[in-house]
Amino acid sequence: MFAQSSLNVRNKRVESLFRTLFLLMTILLIIPVVIILGTLVAKGGGSLSIDFLFTDPTNGMTAGGIFPALLGTILIVVVALIASVPLGVAAAIYLNEYAGDNWFTRLIQLAIINLAGVPSIVHALFGVGAFVLFFGFGTSILAASLTLAIMTLPVVIVSTRESLRSVPQAFREACWNMGATRWQTIRRVVLPNAVSGILTGIILEVSRTAGETAPIMFTGAAFFLPFLPQSVFDQTMALSLHLFVVSTQVPGVPEGLPYGVALVLIGLVLLMNSISIAFRMYLRGKKKW
Amino acid sequence: MVNQAAAVTKNEAEVKIAVRDLSISYGGVPALTGVTLDVREHEIFGIIGPANAGKTSFIKTLNRMDTFDSSMKVEGQILFNGLDVTKLKNIYALRSRIGVVFPLPVGLPLTIYENVALSPRLRGIKDKSELDVIVERCLTRAALWDEVKDRLSSLGSLLSGGQQQRLTIARALSQEPDVLMLDEFSIAVDPVTTMRIEDVLKELKHEMTIILVTNLVQQARRLADRTAFFLDGRCVEIGDTEELFTGNVKDQKTLDYIEGKFG
């Protein structure tokens, strides 16, 4: 009854062929990641130390630590977050909870998608025109952060909308049926259940901007500064630009140093991502429906 | 089709909801056509009929749920205490006076306590002791208090289906509504719980008007004072429940449906 026909044999062979093919593609995918991380750790691991993280660069950036750049990157990302999160979350709430499906909202969505597709160098030039010159912030942390904020707005909006969408419509309707206004429904039912997703999404997306170079190099990041920024109107060093500088612009840099900087930058981003993922797993365990 | 004189109550003081020539369509496809009927104060008004008869669409218009669905178009008049709800500006006030229970219970992702306290909170009641009283009273009336009184702070969405449905009813009662609408509430509920809820409804009738949509004709017979039979987007017949169930019908289709010849 279950004797193998030639068709069975052929199907099996094709099955294992595709299975192997897809497996190979998956392995191929992780090879670059492994190589990048492996090289960085092998070549840059030696230059890592507490001193490296917390001292200033010396000898024309060929020795010493990276503290101003590390601090600068964290500052720029934090200020960018402060600017983009309220704006992006508010826009996402409007689009998901209030706006009807009409030409106006479709136009806005199109604009958001297009904003996400703008190359970062164009954002950089926009930042120079708008924040550095027009608003007169000069090349400063504020200008760099606002440029990054504009760049991350689309991802903040999209990830917030996804979180809002994951709250079942039945909850909203049950609430409306009790006579609740839209805002009462959002505040009492939608936001408390979406806030975890919104937060993790934002951390995940925005931590990626820590590595951006182009948008900040004309707007606020400095080649080298002998002092730390005193306010958001000062320039600052940043890890991404520092990496570019020590690997291409300065002669006589020991080989391990750029790898060390890269390792710190990637470690910072991975740390933020891990926090976000751990946070998400923790909250998923507490899911309320 | 419908005898207008029978559908429309003469003594206007008794009328809670007056529906006049109501038609509903979804994206141009009619779901309900030309319904005229009165729901009287303090009665259980049953609506029976097979699937796609327009029963759910009908009750959705009463508290303006048509605003949730842009494809849903409503024509005609619905007078709630004499006010036309289709032209009403303050639909929040209207909805707060109508409790709604749907086939599948919707336990909000809040604690049991907060599920019931939500509506009073929306009305601006903040006093904890006052909320406690409301929560206990509503859960008791929904025949759920004894089962949940020791775990009011656990999530409402973790209760069993039958318990969640009673929680939904308790939540509807916390609105202190004039009208309670139930749409096939017993679909996800076991028979014993169904009977308990039916007993609750008989009690509640003295305080509010109840509209009971059901696909169980015997449930309509047990509970409803008057019953409307909907079929294919029309209201075929409205009459005293006992009259209909003793075969005193104007349209043969009503009798056929009640007797289970089609469904």
Complex-level ipTM: 0.87
The answer to whether the beta carbons of residues A199 and A183 sit under 8 Å apart is: no
Strands of B56-117 (E only): list them: 72-80, 83-84, 98-101
Give the model's pLDDT for residue B1: 44
In a domain, B53, yes or no: yes
User: What domain count does chain B have?
Assistant: 1
In a domain, B72, yes or no: yes
C-alpha to C-alpha distance for A40 and A34, rounded to whole angstroms: 10
Mutate to test the interface with B, among A105, A164, A172, A178 (most CBs of B within 10 A): A178
In a domain, A58, yes or no: no
In angstroms, what separates the C-alpha of A58 from chain B's closest C-alpha? Answer: 57
Residue of chain A with shortest Cα separation from B92: A179
Give the model's pLDDT for residue B7: 55
In a domain, A49, yes or no: no
Rounded to the nearest 10°, the torsion over CA A180, A185, A188, A190 is: 160
C-alpha to C-alpha distance for A150 and A128, rounded to whole angstroms: 13
**Quick one: B47 exposed, middle or buried, by C-beta within 10 A (0-12, 13-18, 19+)?**
buried
Phi, psi (rounded to 5 degrees) for B126: -115, -25
Q: Which residues of A touch B109 (CB under 8 A)?
A: 171, 189, 192-193, 288-289
Give first-to-last CA distance, chain A, whole Å.
47
Q: Out of B122, B157, B172, whose CB is closest to A180?
A: B122
The answer to whether the beta carbons of residues A250 and A159 sit under 8 Å apart is: no
Using the predicted structure, report yes or no on whether residue A286 has a pLDDT greater than 70: no
Task: Identify the bridge partners of residue B37 per DSSP, sorted by sequence position.
Answer: B19
In a domain, B30, yes or no: yes
Residue A136: left (phi > 0), alpha (psi -120 to 50), or beta? left
Give the model's pLDDT for residue B11: 63
| Cβ contact A289–B157 (<8 Å) | yes
| Cβ contact A179–B171 (<8 Å) | no
Cα B35 to its chain centre, rounded Å, is 17
In a domain, B207, yes or no: no
Mutate to test the interface with A, among B106, B159, B182, B183 (most CBs of A within 10 A): B106
In a domain, A4, yes or no: no
Q: What is the pLDDT of residues A217-236, one digit of tens each?
A: 899 888 888 788 888 888 89
CATH at residue B247: 3.40.50.300
Q: Nearest-CA neighbor of B91 among A96, A181, A99? A: A181
Stated pTM of the model:
0.82
In a domain, A124, yes or no: yes
User: What domain count does chain A have?
Assistant: 1
Q: Nearest-CA neighbor of B8 among B238, B251, B245, B232? A: B238
A57-66 mean pLDDT? 82
Residue of chain A with shortest Cα separation from B100: A177
In angstroms, what separates the C-alpha of B121 from chain A's closest C-alpha? Answer: 10
Q: What percent of chain A has pLDDT over 90?
A: 49
In a domain, A56, yes or no: no
Using the predicted structure, report yes or no on whether residue A205 has a pLDDT greater than 60: yes
A112-121 mean pLDDT? 90
Q: Which residues of A touch B171 (CB under 8 A)?
A: 174, 178
The answer to whether the beta carbons of residues B225 and B195 sit under 8 Å apart is: no
| Cβ contact A178–B171 (<8 Å) | yes
- Residues present in chain A in total: 289
| Alpha helices (runs of H) in chain A, residue ranges in sequence order | 6-44, 50-54, 67-93, 103-117, 120-127, 141-165, 169-176, 182-185, 191-207, 214-217, 239-244, 256-284
Q: What is the pLDDT of residues A256-285, one digit of tens each?
A: 889 999 999 999 988 888 888 888 788 777
Q: Out of A173, A179, A193, whose CB is closest to B122?
A: A179
Which domain covers residue A253, as residue numbers? 65-284
pLDDT band at A5 (very low <50, low <70, confident <90, very high): confident
- Encoded tokens for B52: 């796609």
pLDDT mean by block of 10 residues, chain B; 263 residues: 52 82 94 93 93 92 90 93 89 93 88 94 92 95 92 89 91 94 90 91 93 93 94 93 89 90 79
C-alpha to C-alpha distance for A48 and A41, rounded to whole angstroms: 9
Q: Which residues of A touch B157 (CB under 8 A)?
A: 288-289
Residue of chain A with shortest Cα separation from B155: A288
Q: Nearest-CA neighbor of A239 among A57, A35, A10? A: A57
| Cβ contact A179–B106 (<8 Å) | no
Least confident of A62-66, A204-208, B18-22: A204-208
What is the maximum span of chain A, computed from C-alpha positions, in angstroms? 83
In a domain, A164, yes or no: yes
Exposure string of A193-232, with b = 16+ CB inside 10 Å and e = fewer, is bbebbbbbbbbbbbbebbbbbbbbbbbbbbebbeeebeeb
Which domain covers residue B40, as residue numbers? 1-97+225-263
In a domain, B88, yes or no: yes
In angstroms, what separates the C-alpha of A242 from chain B's closest C-alpha? Answer: 48
- Encoded tokens for A180: 């609740």
In a domain, A243, yes or no: yes
The answer to whether the beta carbons of residues A164 and A93 sit under 8 Å apart is: yes
**Quick one: A114 exposed, middle or buried, by C-beta within 10 A (0-12, 13-18, 19+)?**
exposed
In angstroms, what separates the C-alpha of B8 from chain A's closest C-alpha? Answer: 27
